[in-house]
A and B are shown apart, each in its own frame.
Chain A
């Protein structure tokens, strides 16, 4: 075995198929997108080189500000809800004294396997301003907070983000649960013997030891938020107006509704860069905490 591992040519040969596949389905399209973002192109005609004009136009596009703001709100809602609640549920389910743990674990994961369309339709009905469950509930409890949830310029993005957060909370829960279970029980027991309460022990022992899990969970939540699309498309079609646009929605609009593929490529490049930046920042933040 060592003989083969020491042979660089053999290693290269074994890696080649994966490398080719990776290049064809990932690297090549990304490079093409970057290249085409410097062209004026409708998707069919000959490309016309336009230098940085797509980028100049993009930074003065009012849709970009809306999309970035919405992406940020979406990411925050996902991070807070999925990771916050996911952690709480993971700790509860990991506690051997919790009854019905298996049922709970399965229940939290059920929304993940449902179709996004089904989930969105369900929540469209729940958010209905006239007959929806939420407004009816507020009405029943005499709480004067009835909203037009999906048409409000301020509330709609949070309402939509919540649907995504609710559906995929089970996924983050599964990761966090695995993270909790990977922490040796001895540490937790030692802390409780030293007089720590259960929650203080989790705060000081379990959670800090789940640093890598959290890093991964935050990267998923933040990049999913920045690139959110499907829920907006199904629930409000980006509207009213462009209220619920995100960067992915911008790409969809410019590529498929306006046949401005060059510009859509520029938006795509910016989206990739922002996602990479978010990933780097999260990595740095978590690594800094570790070295401090």
Chain B
């Protein structure tokens, strides 16, 4: 018995130690790499790399980096669209990449837990600031006045796309300047068998963006106005916007199944000519021009009357939230990583400007813009950006943001009134402010 006992004890001990060793063992393939013997510095970069819009600028930046810093070798870790969960897991397990692309919600969490290098005092940051396009400071400098990441894009915004052919066919005059005109158009389009406006409202941010578009007609700062201490009741502009959104919903502007429609379904409705309008960011310009050619154009957000429309059409529905290439404080080559992060952002911006013809970039580019810029983007360059008066401000409070997201989506369905919207928002504002 004693012998059996000892054998079992030994076997158990070996098993326990094996499990312990496997669990505690470090996976060298994913850890930050230090300087190699030949002087090469290997940096792991967590970046978006899944379609032409993300692959081409990144690859261009990496190629340029090889010329500028031949001793730096980039190991790409393709980012996933998971709300930052993969990055947070890296942080929780002490396995951060040297450089990573992150948005403001992730950067906020990482700033608290010291998983992001504060870039305020680096010379690279001063240089980056010097070359920043005017008006996009809020993309680089966070609301707490720190710099956490180098952005490649400028302030992106949402716009209403429309199919000119459908509008002509149904006999609707464009642009639609007022809410009433848009509601009338919705009724006419619906009667003619079209979905008036295609919206992928299964994603809450797009309903929020739509609502913010209406808010900015009377309140250029957008949601930023809700972040202030003491604001415990929804300001008038926000109440008006909720009423307008509900008016449009009741007029049948949105598809009955809007809250269960994803991007692919909504965009295909628009591109197949079944929907007359579509709402998305300015980044949709390339796809829509490619698929609908001259049939498509964009319009400014409608307002309560034509005078308000004229006064507010250059208030932009987009806020400059900090975002971009950040650096891990635990990087073994932190100084180099900071330089490389700024370089990747700058060169990605350069590619977007020179090759894609996008003026919505963070850095000034002294090279010519691509010649084949879509007509809609040319309108943005010539008409919108030079006249832009205000960009909406960032809302930092997650709880207020989530309440807005939930309730703007609710506005898309029957049985939820504008008063419900106001009550729910007031309840959250009272708690948070």
A152 with B415: in contact, given A44-B92, A44-B110, A239-B406 (CB under 8 Å)? yes
When the two chains form their complex, are residues A13 and B259 in contact, meaning their CB atoms are under 8 A apart?
Answer: no
Q: Which residues of A contact B414 (CB under 8 A)?
A: 148, 152
B273 to chain A, nearest CB (A): 17
- Indicate whether B311 reaches chain A with its CB closer than 8 angstroms: no
Check B171 for interface membership: any CB of A closer than 8 A: no
Chain A residue nearest to B408 in the complex (CB): A241
Does residue B83 face the partner (Cβ distance < 8 Å to A)?
A: yes
CB of B1 within 8 A of chain A? yes
Give, as a whole number of angstroms, the nearest-CB distance from A77 to chain B: 20
**Bound complex: CA A240 to CA B15 (Å):** 50
Could you tell me how many residues of chain A have their Cβ less than 8 Å away from some Cβ of chain B? 36
Please report the C-alpha to C-alpha distance between residue A17 and residue B8 in the assembled complex, in whole angstroms.
11
* Residue B113 lies at the interface, judged by CB distance under 8 Å to chain A: yes
Tell me whether A256 and B8 are in contact (CB under 8 A).
no
Chain B residues near A16: list those with CB within 8 A: 12
Q: Which residues of B contact A235 (CB under 8 A)?
A: 260
Q: In the assembled complex, how far is the CB of residue A76 from the closest CB belonging to chain B, in whole angstroms?
A: 22
Given contacts A128-B257, A151-B259, contact A43 B413 (CB under 8 A): no
- Closest residue of chain A to B9 (Cβ to Cβ) is A13
B256 near A44 with CB under 8 A, answer no
Contact with B along A138-168 (1 / 0, CB 8 A): 0000000000101111100000000000000
Chain A residues contacting B260 (CB-CB under 8 Å) are: 124, 150-151, 235-236
Taking the closest CB of chain B, its distance from the CB of A215, in whole angstroms, is 36
Q: Encode A182-222 as 1/0 by CB contact (under 8 A) with B.
A: 00000000000000000000000000000000000000000
Chain A positions within 8 Å of B9 at CB level: 13
A242: Cβ under 8 A from any B Cβ: yes
Interface residues of B in 65-97 (CB under 8 A from A): 83, 85, 88, 91-92
Contact, CB under 8 Å: A151 / B256: yes
Interface check B382, CB cutoff 8 A: no
Given A13-B8, A130-B257, A153-B416, CB of A42 within 8 Å of CB of B410:
no
Specify which chain B residues have a CB less than 8 angstroms from the CB of A17 in the assembled complex.
12, 15
Interface of B is mostly: helix
Is A111 interfacial (CB-CB < 8 Å)? Answer: no
B244 CB–A CB distance under 8 Å: no
The answer, yes or no, to whether B16 is at the interface (CB within 8 Å) is yes
- CB of B416 within 8 A of CB of A240, answer yes
| A:95-128 near B, CB below 8 Å | 124, 128
Q: B409's contact among A44, A150, A240, by CB below 8 Å, is which?
A: A240
Q: Mark A235-254, 1 if CB is under 8 A from B, else 0.
A: 11101111100000000010
Q: For B202, what are the chain A residues with a Cβ–Cβ distance below 8 Å?
A: 236-237, 239
Q: Which residues of B contact A291 (CB under 8 A)?
A: none
Q: Could you say which residues of chain B place their CB within 8 Å of the CB of A258? A: 398-399, 402
- Bound CA span A151–B409, Å: 10
A44-B203 Cα distance, complex, nearest whole Å: 27
**Inter-chain contact A44/B257, CB cutoff 8 Å:** no
8 A Cβ contacts from A10-30 to B: 10, 13-14, 16-17, 20
Q: Is the CB of A151 within 8 A of B398?
A: no
Residues facing B in A234-286 (CB within 8 A) are 235-237, 239-243, 253, 256-259
Q: Mark B15-38 against chain A: 1 for CB-CB distance below 8 A, else 0.
A: 110000000000000000000000
Q: A43-B88, A44-B91, A129-B256 are in contact. Are A239 and B113 (CB under 8 A)?
A: no
Q: Is B323 an interface residue (CB 8 A)?
A: no
CA distance A154 to B115 in the complex (A): 44
Query: B residues within 8 A CB of A13?
Result: 5, 8-9, 12
Give, as a whole number of angstroms, the nearest-CB distance from B97 to chain A.
15
Kindly state whether residue B288 has any CB partner on chain A within 8 Å.
Answer: no
A2 contacts chain B at the CB level, 8 A cutoff: no
User: Whole-angstrom distance between the alpha carbons of A10 and B6 in the complex?
Assistant: 11
B37 to chain A, nearest CB (A): 34
Query: Given B5, B16, B115, which contacts A44 in the complex, CB threshold below 8 Å?
Result: B115
Q: How far is it, in angstroms, between the C-alpha of A151 and the C-alpha of B91 when the chains are bound? A: 38
Given A10-B5, A148-B413, A239-B406: A42 and B256 within 8 A (CB)?
Answer: no
Q: Which single member of B85, B91, B258, B406 contacts A256 (CB below 8 Å)? A: B85
Residues of B within 8 A of A259 (CB): 88, 105, 109, 398
Is B319 interfacial (CB-CB < 8 Å)?
A: no
B88 lies within 8 A of A44 (CB): yes
- 27 chain-A/chain-B pairs, Cβ below 8 angstroms: A9-B5, A10-B5, A13-B5, A17-B12, A42-B112, A43-B109, A44-B92, A44-B109, A45-B112, A124-B260, A128-B257, A148-B257, A148-B413, A148-B414, A151-B258, A152-B415, A153-B413, A153-B416, A237-B204, A240-B410, A240-B413, A241-B407, A242-B406, A258-B398, A258-B399, A258-B402, A259-B105
Give the top 9 A-B pairs by smallest Cβ distance, nearest first: A44-B113, A241-B410, A241-B406, A45-B113, A240-B259, A129-B256, A151-B413, A240-B413, A45-B112
> A-contacting residues of B (Cβ < 8 Å)?
1, 4-5, 8-9, 12, 15-16, 83, 85, 88, 91-92, 105, 109-110, 112-113, 115, 202-204, 255-260, 398-399, 402, 406-407, 409-410, 412-416, 427
Q: Known pairs A153-B415, A237-B203; list 7 more (Cβ under 8 Å).
A: A13-B12, A124-B260, A129-B257, A239-B202, A240-B412, A241-B406, A258-B399
